[in-house]
Amino acid sequence: MQATKPAPVATPTILRRVTVMLYEALLLFSVEMLAIAFYMLVTLNSQHPLAREGMKVWLFLVTAAYFMWCWIDSGHTLAMKTWRIKVVKLGHHKLPLGTAALRFLLAWGWFAPALLVCWTFGLHGKAQIGIALAIGIVAWALTALLDKDRQFLHDRLAGTRLIALPKTARKSA
């Protein structure tokens, strides 16, 4: 009997991964709204500057917990599962906590440079911020074209990769 080679792992297309990000933004919006409601209840909707800054920290931590828990638990968020994409690290059954945290922080590369440009140049208009973010997102997406495996820069730096999962056969009743 001859040993069979494992099937090659397919990388999802850049368009498919960006589409997942858009879907993820809608789902994250819901998570963030629940987190804001909870924070407002706990702080009695305080308008103190410390409470407003605390809200930002709280939302960052909630976002980190959402993504890291999903990646560590199953390898994908709901949006990733819907589009059959999974984040993996070679040699690991599940994504390690440190790797998930590093990937989360590095993924801010999608937005942080644009936000830094807006802050540096005093851009406050919605259109200005939107254009800066669009340019930043396109630039980050293009990093996949420079990678031999078509992985985004944050995945390459974190030692992770996104893989396409096969379609599952539907059972007929």
Domain ranges of the chain: 14-162
Q: Is residue 80 within 8 Å of 27, Cβ to Cβ? A: no
Size (the chain), residues: 173
The residue type at 32 = E
- Count of beta carbons in the 10 Å neighbourhood of residue 129: 15
Q: What is the chain's pLDDT, residue by residue, as a tens digit (173 residues)?
A: 555 555 567 899 999 998 999 999 999 999 999 999 999 999 999 999 999 999 999 999 999 999 999 999 999 999 999 999 999 999 999 999 999 999 999 999 999 999 999 999 999 999 999 999 999 999 999 999 999 999 999 999 999 999 999 987 777 66
Is the entire prediction scored with pTM above 0.75? yes
